[in-house]
């Protein structure tokens, strides 16, 4: 039974990774940049939701909504101020280093505002969960909600990208920015929209993550952020389904690794997955191959 319960915990953590990875993969696919600060937007989202509940006494649903709004705005502002000016920089390192700077800025602003001490997060899920197999297998409400939320987000996002006009614009921009511009697509707007969606998802991920693991610090987002990037690479960067599958697999690998190998080495295991994937199949499970033009 314990194996199954590990597996379900892995799916739950993996669902959070998947939601974060969706944000990564969309931004990477469209703006062609690794948004290092994505993980820290998660942390900001969690703090906003927590404060909305504890300080303003709002309901969990309202708190999530506020967190989504704040993170969306934050994502757009970050893109506009820190990334957009560097879009045509001569070195691709420029925007990557700036993103690292933004990540650090968010962490340290949070540190000044909220302090270094871990705050305990109130779960947004009030339901006790399921008790199966005569009580020997318990699944928490958070776990069920997280997995369901992830599936819904995945389906909605796939529909959005495939069927709606802004979604098609996104695909066009990710294929060829210049050509999309010539076709009359608002490239800047599309990139901003991508950041907005990614950041909104980050807020949701932050709330779900902290509901399951209720200790919130300014560094809460950093590691899940990096691991979600690993998940995005694992699944094939730029692919929504890839981010979903990569996230779930990575969550399962991490939880099983923690349970059966060593809790300290679980992170190392996740990174080892990244290294192996990049060496064996750099495009990930579902990614496309890109040939360099000479």
Partner 1 sequence: MGMLKKMSKNTRSNLITYGIVIAAFLIMQTLITTGSISSLLEGLMVPLCIYVILAVSLNLVVGILGELSLGHAGFMCVGAFTSAFFSKCMRDVITSSLLRFFLALLIGIAVAAVFGLIIGIPVLRLKGDYLAIVTLAFGEIIKNLVNVLFIGRDSNGFHFSTKDVMDLNMEPDGTVLVNGPQGITGTPKDSTFLIGVILILITLFIVTNLINSRDGRAIMAIRDNRIAAESIGINVTKYKLMAFTISAALAGAAGVLYAHNLSTLTATTNNFGYNMSITILVFVVLGGIGNIRGSIIAAVILTLLPELLRGLSDYRMLIYAIVLIIMMLFNWAPKAIEWREKYFSFGKRKKEAVK
Rounded least distance, CB 247 to partner 1, Å: 16
* Residue selected from 1, 3, 85, 120 as contacting partner 1 according to rule CB under 8 A: 85
- Binding flag, residue 107, partner 1 (CB under 8 A): yes
Closest residue by Cα to residue 214 from 148, 142, 127, 150: 142
280 Cβ neighbours under 8 A, 6+ residues apart: none
The DSSP bridge partners found for residue 137 are 132
Radius of gyration over every alpha carbon of the chain, rounded to an integer in angstroms: 19
Residues 254-293 that bind partner 1 (CB under 8 A): 262, 264-265, 267-268, 271-272, 274-275, 278-279, 282, 292
- E-strand spans in the chain? 119-120, 130-132, 137-139, 215-216
Residues 131-170 that bind partner 1 (CB under 8 A): none
Residue closer to partner 1 by CB (options 9, 35) is: 35
Residue closer to partner 1 by CB (options 11, 249) is: 249
In this structure, the number of other CB atoms found within 10 A of the CB of residue 12 comes to 26
Residue closer to partner 1 by CB (options 167, 242) is: 242
Residue closer to partner 1 by CB (options 128, 282) is: 282
Closest residue by Cα to residue 94 from 142, 33, 149: 33
Token pair of 68 as six digits: 């989504």
Contact positions toward partner 1, by CB under 8 A?
28, 33-34, 82, 85-86, 88-98, 100-102, 104-105, 107-109, 111-112, 222, 226, 229-230, 233, 262, 264-265, 267-268, 271-272, 274-275, 278-279, 282, 292, 294
């Amino acid at each position: 039974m314990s194996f199954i319960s590990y597996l379900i915990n892995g799916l739950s953590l993996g669902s959070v990774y998947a939601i974060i990875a969706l944000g990564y993969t969309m931004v990477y696919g469209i703006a062609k940049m690794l948004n290092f600060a994505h993980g820290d937007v998660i942390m900001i989202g969690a703090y906003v939701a927590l404060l909305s509940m504890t300080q303003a006494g709002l309901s969990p649903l309202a708190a999530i909504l506020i967190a989504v709004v704040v993170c969306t705005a934050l994502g757009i502002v970050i893109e506009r101020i820190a990334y957009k000016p560097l879009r045509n920089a001569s070195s691709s390192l420029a925007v990557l280093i700036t993103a690292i700077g933004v990540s650090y800025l968010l962490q340290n602003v949070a540190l000044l505002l909220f302090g270094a001490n871990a705050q305990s997060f109130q779960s947004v899920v009030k339901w006790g969960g399921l008790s199966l197999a005569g009580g020997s297998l318990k699944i928490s409400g958070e776990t069920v909600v997280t997995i369901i939320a992830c599936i819904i987000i995945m389906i909605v996002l796939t529909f959005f990208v495939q069927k709606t006009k802004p979604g098609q614009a996104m695909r066009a921009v990710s294929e060829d920015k210049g050509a999309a511009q010539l076709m009359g697509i608002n490239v800047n707007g599309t990139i901003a929209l991508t950041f907005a969606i990614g950041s909104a998802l980050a807020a949701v991920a932050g709330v779900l993550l902290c509901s399951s693991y209720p200790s919130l610090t300014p560094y809460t987002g950093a590691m899940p952020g990096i691991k979600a990037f690993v998940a995005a690479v694992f699944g094939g960067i730029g692919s929504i389904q890839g981010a979903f599958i990569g996230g779930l697999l990575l969550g399962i690998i991490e939880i099983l690794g923690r349970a059966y190998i060593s809790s300290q080495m679980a992170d190392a295991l996740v990174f080892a997955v990244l290294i192996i994937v990049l060496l064996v199949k750099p495009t990930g499970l579902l990614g496309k191959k890109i040939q360099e033009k000479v």
